[in-house]
Copies of this chain bind each other. A is one copy, B any other.
Amino acid sequence: MSAMLEAGTSNFAAIDAAVARSYGAQVDYAAAPHAVRSTLLRGLADALGRDAASLVALANEETSLGAGRLNGELARTAFQLRGFADRVDAGIAARTVDDAAVAGAPPAGRPHLTRVFAPLGPVAMFAASNFPFAFSVLGGDTASALAAGCAVIVKPHSGHPELSRRVHALAAGVLREQGLPEGVIGFVEASREAAVHLVSHPDVGAVAFTGSYQGGVALWKAVNARARPIPFYGELGSINPLVVTPQALTQDVETPAATLAASIALGCGQLCTSPGVIVVRADGTGTRFVEALARSLAAQKTHAMLTLAMHRGFERATEHIAAQPGVVTRLAAQAGSDDADHAPTPRLFEIDAQSFVTNAALHEEMFGPAALVVRARHDADVLDVLTVVEGTLTVTLWGAEADTPANRALAAAAQRIAGRVLFRGVPTGVAVCDAQQHGGPWPASTQPQTTSVGYAAIERFLRPVALQDAPAWAIDANRGGATV
């Protein structure tokens, strides 16, 4: 750890103080008209936009992700904040379900019941390393929690500390301008031990986390060890199988190979939706596709990884995969690429489906620009491969558009393990919209019924409450001034 980081690391007392500020802010923020939320969200988006050039420059210094990508990410983050604002204005947090009283004895007779949705905050929000804007201080978790009426306590990622401080300072300025307490968006730099203290704090109401399996599981365990466990929304990793059926290769192998190679290397492979397992038929066309993929991947330009620890982790993960019985290395590290100051070169490995199915070590994520090709003899092999993956953010099915029994079985197997199933394109790139689902069975998400991208993400931070025979003011108090 650098001296800078040590100096910035909050001790337990600082965390307690931050939680107290956010807990104090929670009641008034939740009770305020919902227009306060949407005005705040738009103010944050505007502030990001105003300082875009300097923020992107700082982000690039700290992450090496490149100005092009970072400009796009900042735009997406502002778009997302405004999108939540629009939905708040449309009443997303003011929904009610009303059942009028019915005279008579149960089961048909009943009192008047109104289902409303109450915020769960304050929310402890753990920023990710790989999206310094979109999954960081003012990213999707913060935006959805604020939209739900929750104060947020941001734990920034140590991979971009100065950027995090700058963005939080911007946010604090917006809160001041709008007359809102600073606790609405708290900020605590925290060691691992301090992070456990944060999620164990009795006044924290929910936790959102995007990051490594190891880090996420440690926090999840701490939450479960509380006297009263709270909701923990963690996105912990994913291998994102992509199935290349023979139908996908009838025209050409080069174009799909180039598309896939670009997706594997995008952001130096540091994306939660990076395609890590490529299922290809064990036939001649499949072999030509794998050769084209290796060539195209070798030509991809990568950049330095986010942190030294991640680079080391990537090298360890690829060595571990390469050492498994039956694994053939199709694209090895180039000389010097394991030097932490340099960009790692892409890697490609290959294994037969039966070996993949029976060796759990092959189901682990390589976080970085690498993929494992799995050669399937027939449809049953493909289904077996998907079944053993068990939990993933995405499955992509190329060439499965025709309505055939085989494709129906493939789609069903994909849906069973994934939060998102694609029939075209690549899984990297996650649109922010109402229909999006970014989650999936463990370890893709610790709460597979929820999403961390898209507007349904707000549901994580709202808890239904049934009001029975309530006076109108008690119902309206949950509706933030909504008149519809």
Interface residues of A, Cβ cutoff 8 Å to B: 27, 31, 72, 75-76, 79-80, 97-99, 105-108, 110-111, 113-116, 118, 120, 224, 228-231, 390-391, 401-403, 408, 411-412, 415-416, 418-425, 429, 431-439, 441-443, 446-449, 451, 454, 456, 459-460, 462-471, 473-474, 477-478
Partner of A468 from B231, B401, B421 at Cβ < 8 Å: B421
Query: Which B residues touch A72, using CB under 8 A?
Result: 105-107
The 5 closest A-B pairs by CB, nearest first: A110-B431, A437-B466, A79-B107, A113-B435, A115-B435
Query: Which B residues touch A429, using CB under 8 A?
Result: 106
A79 to chain B, nearest CB (A): 4
A477 to B459, CA, bound (A): 26
Query: Which B residues touch A460, using CB under 8 A?
Result: 449
Number of copies of this chain that the complex holds: 2
Say whether B442 contacts A449, CB under 8 Å: no
11 A-B contact pairs sorted by A residue (CB < 8 Å):
A72-B106, A79-B107, A97-B435, A110-B433, A111-B422, A115-B434, A118-B416, A120-B448, A424-B469, A425-B469, A438-B466
Query: Which B residues touch A432, using CB under 8 A?
Result: 107
Partner of A420 from B76, B79, B108, B468 at Cβ < 8 Å: B468
Say whether A446 contacts B99, CB under 8 Å: no
Query: Which B residues touch A446, using CB under 8 A?
Result: 229
A460 to B447, CA, bound (A): 11
Say whether B423 contacts A467, CB under 8 Å: yes
Say whether A423 contacts B470, CB under 8 Å: yes
Partner of A451 from B79, B459, B464 at Cβ < 8 Å: B464
A442 to B473, CA, bound (A): 27
Q: Other than the known A110-B431, A115-B434, A228-B441, what 8 A-B pairs have Cβ atoms closer than 8 Å? A: A113-B431, A115-B436, A403-B471, A423-B470, A423-B474, A424-B468, A424-B469, A449-B464
Say whether A464 contacts B471, CB under 8 Å: no
Partner of A231 from B230, B390, B411, B449 at Cβ < 8 Å: B449
Chain B residue nearest to A72 in the complex (CB)? B106
Chain B residue nearest to A441 in the complex (CB)? B228
Say whether B422 contacts A106, CB under 8 Å: no
Query: Which B residues touch A431, using CB under 8 A?
Result: 99, 106-107, 110-111, 113
Chain B residue nearest to A420 in the complex (CB)? B466
Chain B residue nearest to A30 in the complex (CB)? B412
Say whether A465 contacts B422, CB under 8 Å: no
> Given A27-B412, A80-B107, A416-B118, is A436 in contact with B466 using a C-beta cutoff of 8 Å?
yes
Say whether A403 contacts B433, CB under 8 Å: no
Say whether B408 contacts A456, CB under 8 Å: no
A447 to chain B, nearest CB (A): 8
A479 to B73, CA, bound (A): 35
Say whether A468 contacts B422, CB under 8 Å: yes
Partner of A437 from B115, B228, B425 at Cβ < 8 Å: B115
A203 to B367, CA, bound (A): 28
Say whether A477 contacts B411, CB under 8 Å: yes
A349 to chain B, nearest CB (A): 23
Query: Which B residues touch A412, using CB under 8 A?
Result: 27, 31, 477
Say whether B390 contacts A228, CB under 8 Å: yes
Say whether A456 contacts B467, CB under 8 Å: no
Say whether A425 contacts B111, CB under 8 Å: yes
Say whether B449 contacts A462, CB under 8 Å: yes
A416 to B110, CA, bound (A): 24
A397 to chain B, nearest CB (A): 9
A447 to B447, CA, bound (A): 10
Chain B residue nearest to A26 in the complex (CB)? B416
Chain B residue nearest to A108 in the complex (CB)? B79
Say whether A442 contacts B230, CB under 8 Å: yes
Query: Which B residues touch A415, using CB under 8 A?
Result: 116, 118, 465, 478
Say whether B468 contacts A464, CB under 8 Å: no
> Given A79-B107, A108-B79, A391-B228, is A418 in contact with B465 using a C-beta cutoff of 8 Å?
yes
Say whether B477 contacts A99, CB under 8 Å: no
Say whether B466 contacts A97, CB under 8 Å: no
Say whether A228 contacts B443, CB under 8 Å: yes
Query: Which B residues touch A456, using CB under 8 A?
Result: 97, 115, 464
Say whether A434 contacts B107, CB under 8 Å: no
Partner of A466 from B435, B459, B473 at Cβ < 8 Å: B435
Chain B residue nearest to A469 in the complex (CB)? B424
Chain B residue nearest to A115 in the complex (CB)? B435
> Given A468-B420, A468-B423, A471-B403, is A442 in contact with B31 using a C-beta cutoff of 8 Å?
no
